[in-house]
Amino acid sequence: MEKTCCVTGHREIPADKLDYVKRELEREIKAALEDGYREFITGFAEGVDMLFARCVNERQGEYPDIFLEAAIPYAGRIKQLDEAGRELFAQCNGFKTICAKYQPDCFFQRNRYMVQHSSRVIAVYDGRAGGGTFFTMDYARALERDLHIIEI
């Protein structure tokens, strides 16, 4: 956990913010790598999580010791991925399945797992008071994690 970084963020990134979010994620990942982070966790949801996974994978040529973990909320989630998502999943170095089957709080459990196993949390946040990103940021603060927020 000492040098593990996870991401939280919204599933839908406004089209006019996509380039900005990608640049900021790349900047945060670069900063984490420069700070000695090599382990990264993504929740593998659409939007920010998948973009983060792609950005981390792009750095593996420069940092071959990067370890990218996919934290999957429930086992059936992989079957829901499109072809690009399955290819990205195959490029992960490891995975953790939180629940054997879907249950109403499996995404919440996944987010808690990621924060509990990370010392740095990168959040892409649009300001709404509520939802998974908001509560994951709140949990990161409660556990005194190094929280980096990309505001959109």
CATH number of 4-105+114-123+132-151: 3.40.50.450
7 DSSP β-pair partners: 122
pLDDT along the chain (152 residues), means of 10: 93 95 98 98 96 96 96 93 93 96 96 98 96 97 98 96
Provide the 8-state DSSP code for 103. -
Domain residue limits, the chain = 4-105+114-123+132-151
Per the CB < 8 A criterion, the answer to whether 150 and 125 are in contact is yes
Q: Supply the pTM of this predicted model.
A: 0.96
pLDDT at 2: 81
Q: Identify the pLDDT of residue 16.
A: 96
| C-alpha dihedral sign at 9, 11, 17, 21 | positive
Q: Sign of torsion, CA 50 52 53 59?
A: positive
Kindly state the tokens that stand for 110.
């996944």
The alpha carbon dihedral of 135, 48, 143, 146 has a sign of negative
Count CA within 13 A, CB hemisphere, residue 62: 9
The predicted structure's pLDDT at residue 143: 98
